[in-house]
Amino acid sequence: MGRLTEKHNLKGTLVCVEGIDGSGKSTQLALLRDWLKATGQDVIFTEWNSSELISQTTKLAKKKNMLSPRTFSLLHAVDFADRAKQVIAPALKAGFIVLADRYAYTAFARDVARGVDPQWVRKVYDFAYKPDLAIYFDIDPKTSLERICFNRTPKFYEAGMDLKLSSDPYESYMIFQGRVINEYNKMVDEFGLIKLDANDSIHSKQVKIRELLREVLREKGIEV
Q: By CB under 8 A, tell whether 35 contacts another protein.
A: no
DSSP state letter for 131: P
* Per-position x/- string for 101-130, each x denoting binding to another protein as judged by CB under 8 A, each - no binding: -------------------x--xx-xx---
Contacts of 177 (CB under 8 A, 6+ apart): 20, 21, 141, 144, 145, 158, 160
Q: How many CB atoms lie within 10 A of CB 126?
A: 12
Strands 13-18 and 133-138: parallel
Phi, psi of 6 (to 5 degrees): -110, 140
As measured in angstroms, the least distance from the Cβ of 146 to another protein is 34
Toward another protein, which CB reaches closer, 49 or 177?
Answer: 49
Judged by CB under 8 A, the residue of 5, 39, 57, 199 near another protein is 57
As measured in angstroms, the least distance from the Cβ of 162 to another protein is 12
As measured in angstroms, the least distance from the Cβ of 27 to another protein is 30
Beta strands across the sheet bearing 13-18:
43-47, 97-101, 13-18, 133-138, 194-197
Which residue ranges make up the site for another protein (CB under 8 A)? 52-54, 57, 61, 66-68, 70-71, 74-75, 77-78, 81-82, 84-86, 120, 123-124, 126-127
